[in-house]
Structure 1
Amino acid sequence: MADTEPMIHEDGLPGHESALDRQPEWQPLYPGSGRMAGKAALITGADSGIGRAVAALFAREGADVAIVYLCEHDDAAETRRAVEAEGRRAITLAGDVGDKAFCDRAVAETVAAFGRLDILVNNAGEQHPDQDIRDITEEQLRRTFQTNIFGMFFMTQAARPHLKRGAAIVNCTSVTNYQGSKELLDYSSTKGAITAFTRSLSENLVGEGIRVNAVAPGPIWTPLNPCGGASPEKLKDFGKDTPMGRPGEPNEVAPSFLFLACEDARYMSGQVLHPNGGTIVNG
Protein backbone atom coordinates (compact mmCIF):
# COMPACT_ATOMS: atom_id res chain seq x y z
CA MET A 1 0.00 0.00 0.00
CA ALA A 2 1.29 3.44 -0.89
CA ASP A 3 0.52 4.94 2.50
CA THR A 4 2.78 2.48 4.28
CA GLU A 5 5.87 2.78 2.09
CA PRO A 6 9.02 3.55 4.12
CA MET A 7 9.75 7.28 4.08
CA ILE A 8 13.46 6.75 3.46
CA HIS A 9 13.38 8.80 0.26
CA GLU A 10 11.88 11.86 1.97
CA ASP A 11 14.41 12.57 4.69
CA GLY A 12 17.11 9.93 4.63
CA LEU A 13 15.82 8.05 7.67
CA PRO A 14 16.63 5.80 9.36
CA GLY A 15 20.16 6.93 8.50
CA HIS A 16 23.58 5.30 8.50
CA GLU A 17 25.41 5.09 11.81
CA SER A 18 28.64 4.75 9.87
CA ALA A 19 28.09 8.24 8.40
CA LEU A 20 27.94 10.08 11.73
CA ASP A 21 30.82 12.41 12.59
CA ARG A 22 30.76 11.22 16.18
CA GLN A 23 30.11 7.51 16.47
CA PRO A 24 27.61 6.39 19.14
CA GLU A 25 29.01 4.25 21.92
CA TRP A 26 27.26 0.89 21.62
CA GLN A 27 29.87 -1.57 22.90
CA PRO A 28 28.90 -3.43 26.11
CA LEU A 29 30.46 -1.85 29.18
CA TYR A 30 30.99 -4.95 31.31
CA PRO A 31 31.91 -8.65 31.02
CA GLY A 32 28.98 -11.00 30.57
CA SER A 33 27.63 -13.33 33.22
CA GLY A 34 25.52 -15.73 31.16
CA ARG A 35 22.18 -14.17 32.04
CA MET A 36 20.76 -15.03 28.61
CA ALA A 37 22.60 -18.28 27.96
CA GLY A 38 20.71 -20.53 25.55
CA LYS A 39 18.13 -17.86 24.69
CA ALA A 40 17.13 -16.56 21.27
CA ALA A 41 16.12 -12.93 20.80
CA LEU A 42 14.56 -11.01 17.93
CA ILE A 43 15.36 -7.28 18.02
CA THR A 44 13.78 -4.79 15.62
CA GLY A 45 15.71 -1.72 14.59
CA ALA A 46 18.87 -3.61 15.53
CA ASP A 47 21.13 -2.31 12.79
CA SER A 48 22.26 0.75 14.74
CA GLY A 49 21.77 2.91 17.81
CA ILE A 50 19.95 1.41 20.78
CA GLY A 51 19.08 -1.73 18.84
CA ARG A 52 22.71 -2.48 18.05
CA ALA A 53 23.74 -1.91 21.66
CA VAL A 54 21.01 -4.27 22.86
CA ALA A 55 22.00 -6.92 20.32
CA ALA A 56 25.66 -6.76 21.35
CA LEU A 57 24.83 -6.89 25.06
CA PHE A 58 22.38 -9.78 24.65
CA ALA A 59 25.04 -11.68 22.71
CA ARG A 60 27.62 -11.02 25.42
CA GLU A 61 25.16 -12.49 27.91
CA GLY A 62 24.74 -15.63 25.80
CA ALA A 63 21.82 -15.03 23.41
CA ASP A 64 21.56 -15.72 19.71
CA VAL A 65 20.13 -12.67 17.93
CA ALA A 66 17.90 -12.01 14.93
CA ILE A 67 18.75 -8.52 13.67
CA VAL A 68 15.67 -6.96 12.08
CA TYR A 69 16.15 -3.68 10.22
CA LEU A 70 14.72 -1.62 7.37
CA CYS A 71 17.36 -0.93 4.74
CA GLU A 72 20.76 -0.01 6.25
CA HIS A 73 22.60 -3.15 5.19
CA ASP A 74 26.09 -1.94 6.12
CA ASP A 75 25.02 -1.08 9.65
CA ALA A 76 23.21 -4.41 10.02
CA ALA A 77 26.33 -6.24 8.90
CA GLU A 78 28.33 -4.45 11.61
CA THR A 79 25.78 -5.48 14.25
CA ARG A 80 26.01 -9.05 13.03
CA ARG A 81 29.79 -8.94 13.36
CA ALA A 82 29.40 -7.62 16.91
CA VAL A 83 27.10 -10.51 17.86
CA GLU A 84 29.31 -13.12 16.27
CA ALA A 85 32.38 -11.63 17.94
CA GLU A 86 30.73 -12.59 21.24
CA GLY A 87 30.54 -16.20 20.03
CA ARG A 88 26.81 -16.18 19.32
CA ARG A 89 24.77 -16.84 16.19
CA ALA A 90 23.18 -13.99 14.28
CA ILE A 91 20.87 -13.58 11.29
CA THR A 92 19.94 -10.35 9.51
CA LEU A 93 16.41 -9.75 8.28
CA ALA A 94 15.68 -6.68 6.15
CA GLY A 95 12.13 -5.40 5.86
CA ASP A 96 9.42 -3.08 7.08
CA VAL A 97 7.91 -3.90 10.49
CA GLY A 98 4.81 -2.00 9.35
CA ASP A 99 4.18 -4.87 6.93
CA LYS A 100 2.45 -7.76 8.70
CA ALA A 101 3.65 -10.30 6.14
CA PHE A 102 7.26 -9.29 6.78
CA CYS A 103 6.79 -9.67 10.55
CA ASP A 104 5.37 -13.16 10.05
CA ARG A 105 8.35 -14.05 7.86
CA ALA A 106 10.92 -12.57 10.23
CA VAL A 107 9.65 -14.59 13.16
CA ALA A 108 9.44 -17.77 11.06
CA GLU A 109 13.04 -17.36 9.89
CA THR A 110 14.22 -16.66 13.43
CA VAL A 111 12.63 -19.84 14.76
CA ALA A 112 13.95 -21.81 11.80
CA ALA A 113 17.47 -20.54 12.46
CA PHE A 114 17.57 -20.86 16.25
CA GLY A 115 14.88 -23.41 17.01
CA ARG A 116 13.16 -21.10 19.50
CA LEU A 117 12.22 -17.52 20.37
CA ASP A 118 12.48 -16.37 23.97
CA ILE A 119 12.83 -12.59 23.83
CA LEU A 120 11.11 -10.04 21.57
CA VAL A 121 12.46 -6.49 21.61
CA ASN A 122 10.19 -4.07 19.76
CA ASN A 123 12.63 -1.20 19.21
CA ALA A 124 12.16 -0.02 15.61
CA GLY A 125 10.76 3.48 15.27
CA GLU A 126 10.73 6.60 13.15
CA GLN A 127 10.19 10.29 13.80
CA HIS A 128 9.79 13.40 11.66
CA PRO A 129 9.98 16.88 13.22
CA ASP A 130 7.32 19.47 12.41
CA GLN A 131 6.83 22.89 13.98
CA ASP A 132 3.14 23.12 13.05
CA ILE A 133 0.55 20.34 13.27
CA ARG A 134 -0.72 21.46 9.86
CA ASP A 135 2.61 20.44 8.34
CA ILE A 136 2.12 16.78 9.28
CA THR A 137 0.94 15.11 6.11
CA GLU A 138 -1.55 12.29 6.12
CA GLU A 139 1.16 10.05 4.64
CA GLN A 140 3.59 10.92 7.45
CA LEU A 141 0.95 10.43 10.15
CA ARG A 142 -0.01 7.02 8.82
CA ARG A 143 3.61 6.02 8.29
CA THR A 144 4.71 6.96 11.83
CA PHE A 145 1.88 5.01 13.42
CA GLN A 146 2.42 2.11 11.00
CA THR A 147 6.04 1.71 12.06
CA ASN A 148 5.93 2.67 15.72
CA ILE A 149 2.78 0.97 17.00
CA PHE A 150 1.26 -1.17 14.24
CA GLY A 151 4.67 -2.81 13.83
CA MET A 152 4.67 -3.80 17.50
CA PHE A 153 1.24 -5.40 17.14
CA PHE A 154 2.28 -7.27 13.99
CA MET A 155 5.57 -8.53 15.41
CA THR A 156 3.99 -9.57 18.70
CA GLN A 157 1.18 -11.37 16.89
CA ALA A 158 3.75 -13.28 14.85
CA ALA A 159 5.90 -14.09 17.88
CA ARG A 160 3.11 -15.08 20.26
CA PRO A 161 2.78 -18.76 19.22
CA HIS A 162 6.49 -19.28 19.92
CA LEU A 163 6.75 -17.51 23.28
CA LYS A 164 6.63 -19.97 26.15
CA ARG A 165 6.40 -19.49 29.90
CA GLY A 166 9.42 -17.46 30.98
CA ALA A 167 9.58 -15.47 27.75
CA ALA A 168 9.76 -11.67 27.75
CA ILE A 169 8.74 -8.79 25.52
CA VAL A 170 10.45 -5.41 25.89
CA ASN A 171 9.08 -2.40 24.01
CA CYS A 172 10.80 0.92 23.36
CA THR A 173 8.71 3.94 24.28
CA SER A 174 10.17 7.42 25.01
CA VAL A 175 10.46 10.25 27.50
CA THR A 176 8.30 12.20 25.02
CA ASN A 177 5.36 10.05 26.12
CA TYR A 178 5.62 11.65 29.56
CA GLN A 179 6.92 15.14 28.74
CA GLY A 180 5.43 15.72 25.31
CA SER A 181 7.41 17.22 22.45
CA LYS A 182 6.27 20.28 20.52
CA GLU A 183 8.20 19.20 17.40
CA LEU A 184 7.21 15.52 17.50
CA LEU A 185 3.43 15.45 17.80
CA ASP A 186 2.85 12.26 15.85
CA TYR A 187 5.91 10.47 17.26
CA SER A 188 5.03 11.36 20.87
CA SER A 189 1.49 10.13 20.29
CA THR A 190 2.75 6.75 19.15
CA LYS A 191 4.98 6.51 22.22
CA GLY A 192 1.97 7.08 24.46
CA ALA A 193 0.22 4.29 22.59
CA ILE A 194 3.25 2.02 23.12
CA THR A 195 3.12 2.54 26.88
CA ALA A 196 -0.59 1.72 26.95
CA PHE A 197 0.08 -1.29 24.71
CA THR A 198 2.82 -2.48 27.09
CA ARG A 199 0.61 -2.27 30.15
CA SER A 200 -2.37 -3.87 28.42
CA LEU A 201 -0.33 -6.65 26.84
CA SER A 202 1.21 -7.35 30.22
CA GLU A 203 -2.25 -7.87 31.70
CA ASN A 204 -3.10 -10.09 28.75
CA LEU A 205 -0.03 -12.35 28.99
CA VAL A 206 1.10 -12.33 32.62
CA GLY A 207 -1.08 -15.31 33.41
CA GLU A 208 0.76 -17.27 30.70
CA GLY A 209 4.09 -16.57 32.37
CA ILE A 210 5.17 -14.05 29.71
CA ARG A 211 6.38 -10.69 31.00
CA VAL A 212 5.92 -7.44 29.07
CA ASN A 213 7.79 -4.27 29.99
CA ALA A 214 9.16 -1.14 28.31
CA VAL A 215 12.09 1.26 28.28
CA ALA A 216 11.57 5.02 27.85
CA PRO A 217 14.90 6.54 26.76
CA GLY A 218 15.60 10.22 26.89
CA PRO A 219 17.78 11.94 24.24
CA ILE A 220 20.20 9.26 23.02
CA TRP A 221 22.91 9.79 20.40
CA THR A 222 21.84 7.52 17.53
CA PRO A 223 21.44 8.04 13.76
CA LEU A 224 17.74 8.82 14.16
CA ASN A 225 18.14 12.45 15.23
CA PRO A 226 21.16 13.71 13.23
CA CYS A 227 19.91 12.01 10.04
CA GLY A 228 16.67 13.99 9.95
CA GLY A 229 14.71 13.02 13.04
CA ALA A 230 15.40 16.35 14.76
CA SER A 231 15.42 19.92 13.52
CA PRO A 232 18.83 21.65 13.20
CA GLU A 233 17.89 24.00 16.04
CA LYS A 234 17.15 21.13 18.39
CA LEU A 235 20.12 19.09 17.27
CA LYS A 236 22.72 21.71 18.17
CA ASP A 237 21.75 21.51 21.85
CA PHE A 238 20.67 17.88 21.79
CA GLY A 239 20.50 16.43 25.30
CA LYS A 240 21.80 19.56 27.05
CA ASP A 241 18.46 20.18 28.76
CA THR A 242 18.70 16.96 30.79
CA PRO A 243 19.86 17.19 34.42
CA MET A 244 23.09 15.46 33.36
CA GLY A 245 23.56 18.06 30.64
CA ARG A 246 24.34 15.66 27.79
CA PRO A 247 22.75 13.08 25.51
CA GLY A 248 22.98 9.45 26.50
CA GLU A 249 24.84 6.71 24.64
CA PRO A 250 23.19 3.52 23.36
CA ASN A 251 25.27 1.38 25.72
CA GLU A 252 23.84 3.35 28.64
CA VAL A 253 20.33 2.30 27.60
CA ALA A 254 20.92 -1.33 26.64
CA PRO A 255 21.29 -2.57 30.26
CA SER A 256 17.67 -1.57 30.92
CA PHE A 257 16.56 -3.85 28.10
CA LEU A 258 18.79 -6.64 29.42
CA PHE A 259 17.41 -6.35 32.95
CA LEU A 260 13.80 -6.50 31.76
CA ALA A 261 14.51 -9.38 29.38
CA CYS A 262 16.33 -11.67 31.83
CA GLU A 263 15.34 -13.47 35.02
CA ASP A 264 16.61 -10.60 37.17
CA ALA A 265 13.25 -8.94 36.44
CA ARG A 266 11.07 -12.00 36.87
CA TYR A 267 8.77 -10.15 39.32
CA MET A 268 8.30 -7.18 36.98
CA SER A 269 5.67 -6.83 34.26
CA GLY A 270 3.79 -3.86 32.88
CA GLN A 271 6.58 -1.51 34.01
CA VAL A 272 8.70 1.18 32.33
CA LEU A 273 12.37 1.99 33.01
CA HIS A 274 13.69 5.52 32.36
CA PRO A 275 17.31 5.91 31.21
CA ASN A 276 16.95 9.62 30.47
CA GLY A 277 19.78 11.54 32.09
CA GLY A 278 17.98 12.26 35.35
CA THR A 279 14.70 13.71 34.09
CA ILE A 280 11.92 13.01 36.60
CA VAL A 281 8.70 11.73 35.05
CA ASN A 282 5.57 10.12 36.38
CA GLY A 283 5.23 6.60 35.12
Structure 2
Amino acid sequence: MHKYKVTTPINLSKISTKEVDSNAKDKLKKARKQLSELQDTMYAHGKYSMLVCLQGMDTSGKDSLIREVFKQVNARGVVVHSFKVPTDKELKHDFLWRHYVALPERGKIGVFNRTHYENVLVTRVHPEYIMGEKLPSVKSTNDIDDAFFHNRMEDINNFEKHIADNGTIILKFFLHVSKEEQKNRLLRRIEKKNKNWKFSAGDLEEREHWSTYQACYEDAINRTSTEKAPWYIVPADDKPTARTIVANTILETLESYKDIKAPELDDKTKARLDEFRAQLEND
Protein backbone atom coordinates (compact mmCIF):
# COMPACT_ATOMS: atom_id res chain seq x y z
CA MET A 1 0.00 0.00 0.00
CA HIS A 2 3.02 2.29 -0.17
CA LYS A 3 1.84 3.65 -3.54
CA TYR A 4 -0.79 5.67 -1.67
CA LYS A 5 1.54 6.93 1.07
CA VAL A 6 2.60 10.58 0.94
CA THR A 7 6.38 10.73 1.14
CA THR A 8 7.02 13.69 -1.18
CA PRO A 9 5.01 16.87 -1.88
CA ILE A 10 1.76 16.10 -3.71
CA ASN A 11 -0.52 17.94 -6.09
CA LEU A 12 -4.06 16.68 -5.57
CA SER A 13 -5.20 17.74 -9.03
CA LYS A 14 -2.72 15.28 -10.53
CA ILE A 15 -3.76 12.31 -8.39
CA SER A 16 -6.52 10.09 -9.72
CA THR A 17 -9.74 9.75 -7.73
CA LYS A 18 -10.78 6.58 -9.59
CA GLU A 19 -9.37 3.12 -9.11
CA VAL A 20 -11.45 -0.01 -9.49
CA ASP A 21 -10.44 -3.40 -8.13
CA SER A 22 -12.89 -6.03 -9.39
CA ASN A 23 -11.94 -8.29 -6.46
CA ALA A 24 -12.23 -5.55 -3.84
CA LYS A 25 -15.13 -7.10 -1.93
CA ASP A 26 -13.43 -10.49 -1.60
CA LYS A 27 -10.18 -8.84 -0.55
CA LEU A 28 -12.00 -6.74 2.03
CA LYS A 29 -13.72 -9.81 3.47
CA LYS A 30 -10.35 -11.51 3.92
CA ALA A 31 -8.71 -8.40 5.37
CA ARG A 32 -11.58 -7.90 7.86
CA LYS A 33 -11.11 -11.38 9.31
CA GLN A 34 -7.34 -10.91 9.63
CA LEU A 35 -7.79 -7.47 11.15
CA SER A 36 -10.20 -8.84 13.73
CA GLU A 37 -7.75 -11.54 14.78
CA LEU A 38 -4.82 -9.16 14.90
CA GLN A 39 -6.75 -6.62 16.96
CA ASP A 40 -7.55 -9.35 19.51
CA THR A 41 -3.81 -9.97 19.81
CA MET A 42 -3.15 -6.25 20.03
CA TYR A 43 -5.72 -5.98 22.84
CA ALA A 44 -4.11 -8.81 24.78
CA HIS A 45 -0.61 -7.38 24.19
CA GLY A 46 -1.76 -4.03 25.55
CA LYS A 47 1.25 -1.89 24.63
CA TYR A 48 0.10 -0.13 21.45
CA SER A 49 -2.99 1.74 20.39
CA MET A 50 -3.87 2.74 16.83
CA LEU A 51 -5.42 5.98 15.63
CA VAL A 52 -7.09 5.89 12.21
CA CYS A 53 -7.91 9.38 10.91
CA LEU A 54 -10.40 9.79 8.07
CA GLN A 55 -10.77 13.04 6.16
CA GLY A 56 -12.48 13.85 2.91
CA MET A 57 -15.00 16.08 1.26
CA ASP A 58 -18.71 15.52 1.95
CA THR A 59 -19.92 12.18 0.45
CA SER A 60 -16.38 10.77 0.25
CA GLY A 61 -17.60 7.63 2.04
CA LYS A 62 -16.19 7.92 5.55
CA ASP A 63 -19.23 6.52 7.41
CA SER A 64 -19.74 3.48 5.21
CA LEU A 65 -16.01 2.79 5.16
CA ILE A 66 -15.93 2.62 8.96
CA ARG A 67 -18.91 0.26 8.96
CA GLU A 68 -17.48 -2.08 6.34
CA VAL A 69 -13.84 -2.14 7.44
CA PHE A 70 -14.42 -2.68 11.16
CA LYS A 71 -17.63 -4.73 11.17
CA GLN A 72 -15.85 -7.90 12.37
CA VAL A 73 -13.61 -6.27 14.97
CA ASN A 74 -14.64 -6.99 18.56
CA ALA A 75 -16.73 -4.07 19.82
CA ARG A 76 -14.46 -3.68 22.84
CA GLY A 77 -11.49 -3.14 20.55
CA VAL A 78 -12.57 -0.25 18.32
CA VAL A 79 -13.95 3.16 19.31
CA VAL A 80 -15.28 5.65 16.74
CA HIS A 81 -15.50 9.40 17.33
CA SER A 82 -17.34 11.65 14.88
CA PHE A 83 -16.32 15.22 15.52
CA LYS A 84 -18.99 17.84 14.89
CA VAL A 85 -19.07 21.59 15.52
CA PRO A 86 -17.23 22.23 18.83
CA THR A 87 -19.44 22.54 21.90
CA ASP A 88 -19.26 25.50 24.29
CA LYS A 89 -17.16 23.41 26.67
CA GLU A 90 -14.76 22.35 23.91
CA LEU A 91 -14.34 25.96 22.79
CA LYS A 92 -13.14 26.80 26.29
CA HIS A 93 -10.08 24.61 25.71
CA ASP A 94 -7.33 24.66 23.08
CA PHE A 95 -8.26 23.24 19.69
CA LEU A 96 -6.58 19.88 20.29
CA TRP A 97 -8.14 19.20 23.69
CA ARG A 98 -11.26 17.39 22.53
CA HIS A 99 -9.18 15.16 20.28
CA TYR A 100 -6.64 14.35 22.96
CA VAL A 101 -9.29 13.15 25.42
CA ALA A 102 -10.79 10.92 22.70
CA LEU A 103 -7.54 9.05 21.95
CA PRO A 104 -7.76 5.23 22.09
CA GLU A 105 -6.47 3.30 25.07
CA ARG A 106 -3.59 0.88 24.64
CA GLY A 107 -4.85 -2.26 22.93
CA LYS A 108 -7.62 -0.46 21.05
CA ILE A 109 -8.15 1.07 17.63
CA GLY A 110 -9.59 4.58 17.64
CA VAL A 111 -11.22 5.98 14.52
CA PHE A 112 -11.62 9.71 14.07
CA ASN A 113 -14.38 10.43 11.55
CA ARG A 114 -13.26 13.93 10.70
CA THR A 115 -10.34 14.84 12.87
CA HIS A 116 -8.14 17.49 14.43
CA TYR A 117 -7.42 18.57 10.83
CA GLU A 118 -10.81 20.26 10.67
CA ASN A 119 -9.05 23.01 12.63
CA VAL A 120 -6.85 23.79 9.61
CA LEU A 121 -9.41 22.95 6.91
CA VAL A 122 -12.96 24.13 7.65
CA THR A 123 -11.68 27.02 9.76
CA ARG A 124 -9.26 28.01 7.02
CA VAL A 125 -12.09 28.16 4.49
CA HIS A 126 -14.28 29.92 7.08
CA PRO A 127 -11.87 31.87 9.31
CA GLU A 128 -14.79 33.54 11.07
CA TYR A 129 -15.26 30.27 12.96
CA ILE A 130 -11.97 30.93 14.77
CA MET A 131 -13.53 33.92 16.50
CA GLY A 132 -15.59 31.53 18.61
CA GLU A 133 -12.39 30.25 20.22
CA LYS A 134 -11.79 33.66 21.83
CA LEU A 135 -8.03 33.50 21.37
CA PRO A 136 -6.13 36.39 23.01
CA SER A 137 -3.98 36.89 19.91
CA VAL A 138 -6.92 37.11 17.50
CA LYS A 139 -8.77 40.42 17.51
CA SER A 140 -10.40 40.00 14.10
CA THR A 141 -10.30 37.72 11.08
CA ASN A 142 -7.48 39.93 9.76
CA ASP A 143 -5.24 38.20 12.31
CA ILE A 144 -6.05 34.77 10.86
CA ASP A 145 -3.55 34.41 8.02
CA ASP A 146 -1.55 31.56 6.47
CA ALA A 147 1.03 31.80 9.25
CA PHE A 148 -1.72 31.21 11.81
CA PHE A 149 -2.71 27.92 10.19
CA HIS A 150 0.88 26.86 9.54
CA ASN A 151 1.55 27.31 13.26
CA ARG A 152 -1.46 25.10 13.97
CA MET A 153 -0.11 22.46 11.63
CA GLU A 154 3.16 22.51 13.54
CA ASP A 155 1.15 22.06 16.76
CA ILE A 156 -0.52 19.07 15.12
CA ASN A 157 2.85 17.61 14.13
CA ASN A 158 4.04 17.94 17.73
CA PHE A 159 0.80 16.41 19.05
CA GLU A 160 1.13 13.43 16.73
CA LYS A 161 4.82 12.95 17.51
CA HIS A 162 4.02 12.96 21.22
CA ILE A 163 1.32 10.31 21.02
CA ALA A 164 3.36 8.22 18.57
CA ASP A 165 6.31 8.28 20.97
CA ASN A 166 3.94 6.97 23.63
CA GLY A 167 2.72 3.97 21.66
CA THR A 168 -0.02 5.22 19.33
CA ILE A 169 0.28 3.99 15.75
CA ILE A 170 -1.11 6.74 13.51
CA LEU A 171 -2.57 6.35 10.02
CA LYS A 172 -4.25 9.26 8.21
CA PHE A 173 -6.40 8.72 5.13
CA PHE A 174 -7.65 11.37 2.72
CA LEU A 175 -10.56 9.91 0.75
CA HIS A 176 -9.95 11.58 -2.60
CA VAL A 177 -13.29 11.91 -4.36
CA SER A 178 -13.93 13.83 -7.58
CA LYS A 179 -16.29 16.77 -7.80
CA GLU A 180 -18.34 14.90 -10.40
CA GLU A 181 -18.72 11.85 -8.16
CA GLN A 182 -19.70 14.07 -5.25
CA LYS A 183 -22.45 15.55 -7.43
CA ASN A 184 -23.73 12.06 -8.25
CA ARG A 185 -23.77 11.04 -4.59
CA LEU A 186 -25.59 14.22 -3.55
CA LEU A 187 -28.17 13.59 -6.27
CA ARG A 188 -28.70 10.06 -4.94
CA ARG A 189 -29.37 11.52 -1.50
CA ILE A 190 -32.13 13.63 -3.04
CA GLU A 191 -33.58 10.93 -5.30
CA LYS A 192 -33.65 8.03 -2.83
CA LYS A 193 -36.10 8.51 0.02
CA ASN A 194 -34.10 6.34 2.38
CA LYS A 195 -31.10 8.63 1.75
CA ASN A 196 -32.94 11.94 2.14
CA TRP A 197 -31.95 12.27 5.78
CA LYS A 198 -28.30 12.53 4.72
CA PHE A 199 -28.92 15.55 2.50
CA SER A 200 -28.26 19.07 3.73
CA ALA A 201 -28.45 22.33 1.84
CA GLY A 202 -25.18 23.13 3.57
CA ASP A 203 -23.51 20.45 1.45
CA LEU A 204 -24.20 22.56 -1.63
CA GLU A 205 -22.88 25.69 0.06
CA GLU A 206 -19.63 23.93 0.96
CA ARG A 207 -19.39 22.52 -2.56
CA GLU A 208 -19.02 26.08 -3.83
CA HIS A 209 -15.69 26.20 -1.95
CA TRP A 210 -14.39 23.03 -3.63
CA SER A 211 -11.20 24.55 -5.04
CA THR A 212 -10.36 26.28 -1.77
CA TYR A 213 -10.83 23.06 0.17
CA GLN A 214 -8.62 21.17 -2.25
CA ALA A 215 -5.85 23.76 -1.79
CA CYS A 216 -6.20 23.59 2.01
CA TYR A 217 -6.08 19.79 2.01
CA GLU A 218 -3.04 19.79 -0.22
CA ASP A 219 -1.17 22.25 1.99
CA ALA A 220 -2.10 20.41 5.20
CA ILE A 221 -1.14 17.00 3.82
CA ASN A 222 2.19 18.26 2.52
CA ARG A 223 3.06 19.89 5.84
CA THR A 224 1.92 17.09 8.15
CA SER A 225 2.72 13.77 6.46
CA THR A 226 5.54 12.40 8.60
CA GLU A 227 7.11 9.00 9.10
CA LYS A 228 5.35 8.61 12.45
CA ALA A 229 2.03 9.96 11.20
CA PRO A 230 1.80 9.41 7.44
CA TRP A 231 -0.98 10.48 5.12
CA TYR A 232 -2.39 8.14 2.47
CA ILE A 233 -4.26 9.48 -0.55
CA VAL A 234 -7.01 6.97 -1.28
CA PRO A 235 -8.90 7.13 -4.60
CA ALA A 236 -12.50 7.19 -3.37
CA ASP A 237 -14.78 7.33 -6.41
CA ASP A 238 -15.21 3.55 -6.11
CA LYS A 239 -16.21 2.78 -2.53
CA PRO A 240 -15.37 -0.97 -2.41
CA THR A 241 -11.85 -0.28 -3.68
CA ALA A 242 -11.31 2.59 -1.24
CA ARG A 243 -12.43 0.42 1.69
CA THR A 244 -10.09 -2.37 0.66
CA ILE A 245 -7.13 -0.01 0.36
CA VAL A 246 -7.74 1.36 3.85
CA ALA A 247 -8.31 -2.08 5.40
CA ASN A 248 -5.15 -3.55 3.89
CA THR A 249 -3.08 -0.51 4.87
CA ILE A 250 -4.21 -0.88 8.48
CA LEU A 251 -3.56 -4.62 8.38
CA GLU A 252 -0.11 -4.35 6.82
CA THR A 253 0.89 -1.65 9.29
CA LEU A 254 -0.12 -3.74 12.31
CA GLU A 255 1.59 -6.80 10.86
CA SER A 256 4.84 -4.84 10.60
CA TYR A 257 4.94 -4.59 14.41
CA LYS A 258 6.54 -7.96 15.08
CA ASP A 259 6.51 -7.43 18.84
CA ILE A 260 2.70 -7.46 18.96
CA LYS A 261 2.11 -10.95 20.33
CA ALA A 262 -0.31 -12.50 22.78
CA PRO A 263 1.26 -12.64 26.24
CA GLU A 264 2.36 -16.05 27.51
CA LEU A 265 1.39 -17.51 30.84
CA ASP A 266 4.01 -17.26 33.54
CA ASP A 267 6.07 -20.40 34.18
CA LYS A 268 4.35 -21.12 37.50
CA THR A 269 0.89 -21.14 35.92
CA LYS A 270 2.02 -23.14 32.87
CA ALA A 271 3.51 -25.80 35.15
CA ARG A 272 0.12 -26.30 36.80
CA LEU A 273 -2.06 -26.45 33.67
CA ASP A 274 -2.53 -30.22 33.94
CA GLU A 275 -3.59 -29.74 37.55
CA PHE A 276 -6.11 -27.05 36.57
CA ARG A 277 -7.45 -29.20 33.73
CA ALA A 278 -8.01 -32.15 36.04
CA GLN A 279 -9.69 -29.87 38.58
CA LEU A 280 -12.17 -28.66 35.94
CA GLU A 281 -12.82 -32.11 34.51
CA ASN A 282 -13.56 -33.48 37.97
CA ASP A 283 -15.79 -30.54 38.91
TM-score calculated relative to the size of structure 1:
0.37
Higher helix share: 2
Taking CA–CA contacts closer than 8 Å with sequence separation of 6 or more, which of the two structures ends up with the larger relative contact order? 2
Please say which structure displays the higher CA radius of gyration: 2
TM-score calculated relative to the size of structure 2:
0.37
